[in-house]
């Protein structure tokens, strides 16, 4: 027994040493790449950081800005700016701090479905009817003509408001049967089947994945993407992180300053179109794998399908002319260079991920002050122009005009004043209670807390304010919602809720 114990002990010591050696090798490789990039671009960091610092001071930005440059070898450069850093203090946030990447998740989902096709678990060319016949849209849509590929590239033509809101904002039972019911009973259909961007297609593709594999989209993402790329701090579960460590959303205005701060996602609203939390270090592994088309997760032909057009579009966003869409990336042109982009937004969070295939260089950028949602894109452009030896400073000045305009517009949004806060009195107390909707939307509750009232809709909640023209409103973080209450009926938008007896 003693000899067996020694053998087992030695075995685990060897494993531990191998693990330490692997970590050391990985860190050395990253540091080597950082040094190499700095030697090749000695002025880039000072120019980039000076521009961001100037914007922070000029606009009096709150929150955080994170920026990284990635090449085929991994992370090449990164920096973080916030009030703490500007005060010459050490920030608690670093390259291993969790970031919500919002709709950039779609590129991951497209990759996951392509991996499953490569493994012959499913086919992107097969129809929705083939895999999910219970989704029939009241037999008014021919789902035999909707392929899984069309779900990923937004040409399926279908939309459901209730399904989209539940999965992105409000929450639901967690059962796919509920989402399928919503799609079957509350839907729109565009017969042209032209490119129409939304969360719906990738979410349905995730439901198909779960039907075929018997496993969740979240677990399969870990098995086939996160683990092979050693993305150890990446997850589709909010519950895998301490909430205080996740970069929050900030809602800010010129008149009121900081209006609201928080992270408005839970496990139930982390979905296949916007449901991944990661870090700069992990995302650099993902983006680098795309840049070099790493065969760890896909073969070369599969990468071609992921990065090449599957449908056309003709849209302009900021400075990017989007011409096509792949299985998860917008294909655009910037300064006569082809660029693949995947952006994401939630409340104040703005996330940028892009790469230029021919140049083998990419950018990750993040900000969380709602007024500065164009900042990640503005600074990504500046970095690309410096790297491509274009007149970066003059281009920056012209592009910053668009940033200034959008900032001014967001900064001047008016929010309810403290004097409008709904406070306690006997008449108002009558609105307290639970309200239910007959069309399967999440329950609304109104509760009194201290001397004010809270409106809770699904997983979201916010203080209630009086509208000057009558009725009420509340800021739920991801959006502001108006509502009225007459007798026992609560109406918000076109939705009608009835108060229920306790």
| Per-residue model confidence as pLDDT tens digits over 355-379 | 999 999 999 999 999 999 999 999 9
Is residue 446 within 8 Å of 431, Cβ to Cβ?
Answer: yes
Please tell me the predicted confidence (pLDDT) of residue 481: 96
**Residue 443 pLDDT exceeds 90:** yes
CA distance 192 to 155: 9
**Residue 421 pLDDT exceeds 90:** yes
Residues 42-56 as b or e (16 or more Cβ within 10 Å = b): eebbebbbebbeebb
Element (H, E) at 362: strand 361-367
CA distance 286 to 272: 17
For CA atoms 301, 303, 305, 307, give the dihedral sign: negative
Q: Where residue 475 sits, what CATH number does that domain have?
A: 2.40.128.50
Please tell me the predicted confidence (pLDDT) of residue 19: 45
Q: Name the domain count of the chain.
A: 1
Please tell me the predicted confidence (pLDDT) of residue 287: 98
Residue 493 in any domain: the answer is yes
Residue 177 in any domain: the answer is no
**Residue 305 pLDDT exceeds 80:** yes
Go through the chain and tell me how many residues it has: 502
Total-model pTM: 0.92
Residue 488 in any domain: the answer is yes
CA distance 436 to 460: 16
**Residue 25 pLDDT exceeds 80:** no
What is the token pair recorded at 180?
């399928």
Query: Of 499, 476, 436, which Cα lies nearest the Cα of 169?
Result: 476
Please tell me the predicted confidence (pLDDT) of residue 92: 80
- Mean confidence (pLDDT) of the chain: 93
- Tens of pLDDT, residue by residue over 342-353, are 999 999 999 999
**Residue 461 pLDDT exceeds 80:** yes
CA distance 125 to 88: 55
Query: Of 208, 236, 211, 240, which Cα lies nearest the Cα of 224?
Result: 236
- What is the average pLDDT across 286-313? 96
For CA atoms 276, 278, 284, 289, give the dihedral sign: negative
pLDDT, greater one: 22 or 481: 481
- What is the average pLDDT across 237-263? 95
Which residue in this structure is represented by tokens 């002025």? 43
- What is the average pLDDT across 52-80? 96
Please tell me the predicted confidence (pLDDT) of residue 78: 96
Burial class (CB in 10 A: 0-12, 13-18, 19+), 483: buried
**Residue 225 pLDDT exceeds 90:** yes
Number of Cβ atoms within 10 Å of the Cβ of 15: 10
Identify the bridge partners of residue 462 per DSSP, sorted by sequence position.
455
3-class DSSP assignment, residue 339: strand
Residue 432 in any domain: the answer is yes
What is the token pair recorded at 67?
């920026």
Please tell me the predicted confidence (pLDDT) of residue 30: 84
Is residue 481 within 8 Å of 455, Cβ to Cβ?
Answer: yes
Please tell me the predicted confidence (pLDDT) of residue 102: 98
CA distance 365 to 261: 20
**Residue 53 pLDDT exceeds 60:** yes
Phi–psi pair at 123, nearest 5 degrees: -125, 130
- DSSP 8-state code for residue 418: G
Q: What is Dmax (Cα atoms) for the chain?
A: 83
CA distance 203 to 86: 40
What is the token pair recorded at 114?
């392509």
pLDDT, greater one: 114 or 92: 114
With cut-offs at 50, 70 and 90, classify the pLDDT of residue 21.
Answer: very low
Please tell me the predicted confidence (pLDDT) of residue 150: 98
CA distance 39 to 102: 34
CA distance 287 to 123: 25
Instruction: Calculate the CA dihedral of residues 415, 418, 420, 426 and round it to 10 degrees.
Output: 140
For 467, what's the count of Cα atoms within 13 Å in the CB-facing half-sphere?
13
Residue 466 belongs to domain spanning: 418-500
- What is the average pLDDT across 313-340? 97
**Residue 24 pLDDT exceeds 80:** no
3-class DSSP assignment, residue 200: helix
**Residue 12 pLDDT exceeds 50:** no
Residue 360 in any domain: the answer is no
CA distance 212 to 119: 13
Is residue 374 within 8 Å of 402, Cβ to Cβ?
Answer: yes
Residue 107 in any domain: the answer is no
CA distance 391 to 396: 9
Residue 314 in any domain: the answer is no
Is residue 457 within 8 Å of 442, Cβ to Cβ?
Answer: yes
Residue 468 in any domain: the answer is yes
- What is the average pLDDT across 308-334? 97
Which residue in this structure is represented by tokens 């500065």? 372
**Residue 8 pLDDT exceeds 90:** no
């Amino acid at each position: 027994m003693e000899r067996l114990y020694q053998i087992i002990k030695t075995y685990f010591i060897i494993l531990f040493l191998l693990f330490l050696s692997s970590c050391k090798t990985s860190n050395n490789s990253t540091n080597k790449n950082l040094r190499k990039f700095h030697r090749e671009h000695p002025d880039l960091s000072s120019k980039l950081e000076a521009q961001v610092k100037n914007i922070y001071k000029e606009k009096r930005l709150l929150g955080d800005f994170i920026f990284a440059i990635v090449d085929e070898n991994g992370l090449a450069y990164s920096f973080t700016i916030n009030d703490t850093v500007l005060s010459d203090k050490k920030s608690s946030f670093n390259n291993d701090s969790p970031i919500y990447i919002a709709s950039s998740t779609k590129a991951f989902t497209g990759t996951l479905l392509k991996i499953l096709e490569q493994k012959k678990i499913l086919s992107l060319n097969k129809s929705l009817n083939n895999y999910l016949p219970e989704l029939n849209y009241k037999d008014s849509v021919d789902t035999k003509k909707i392929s899984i590929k069309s779900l990923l590239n937004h040409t399926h033509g279908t939309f459901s408001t209730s399904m989209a809101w539940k999965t992105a904002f409000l929450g639901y039972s967690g059962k796919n049967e509920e989402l399928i019911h919503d799609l079957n009973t509350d839907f729109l259909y565009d017969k042209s089947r032209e490119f129409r961007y939304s969360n719906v297609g990738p979410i349905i593709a995730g439901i198909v994945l779960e039907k075929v594999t018997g496993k969740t989209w979240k677990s399969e993402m870990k098995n086939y993407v996160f683990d092979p790329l050693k993305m150890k701090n990446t997850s589709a579960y909010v519950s895998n992180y301490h909430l205080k460590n996740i970069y929050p959303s900030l809602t800010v205005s010129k008149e009121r300053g900081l209006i609201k701060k928080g992270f408005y996602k839970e496990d139930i609203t982390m979905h296949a179109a916007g449901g991944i939390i990661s870090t700069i270090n992990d995302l650099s592994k993902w983006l680098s794998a795309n840049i070099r088309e790493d065969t760890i997760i896909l073969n070369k032909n599969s990468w071609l399908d992921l990065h090449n057009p599957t449908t056309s579009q003709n849209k302009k966003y900021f400075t990017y002319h989007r011409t096509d869409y792949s299985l998860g990336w917008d294909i655009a042109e910037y300064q006569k260079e082809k660029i693949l982009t995947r952006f994401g937004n939630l409340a104040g969070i703005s996330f940028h991920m892009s790469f230029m295939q021919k140049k083998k260089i990419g950018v990750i950028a993040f900000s969380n002050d709602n007024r500065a949602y164009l900042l990640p894109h503005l600074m990504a452009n500046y970095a690309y122009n410096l790297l491509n030896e274009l007149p970066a400073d003059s281009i920056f000045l012209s592009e910053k005009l668009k940033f200034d305009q959008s900032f001014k517009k967001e900064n001047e949004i008016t929010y309810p004043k403290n004097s409008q806060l709904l406070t306690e009195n006997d008449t108002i107390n009558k609105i307290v209670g639970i309200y239910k909707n007959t069309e399967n939307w999440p329950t609304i509750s109104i509760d009194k807390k201290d001397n004010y009232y809270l409106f809770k809709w699904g997983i979201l909640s916010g203080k209630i304010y009086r509208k000057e023209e009558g009725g009420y409103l509340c800021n739920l973080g991801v959006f502001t919602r108006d509502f009225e209450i007459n007798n026992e009926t609560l109406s918000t938008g076109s939705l009608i809720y009835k108060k229920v007896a306790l």
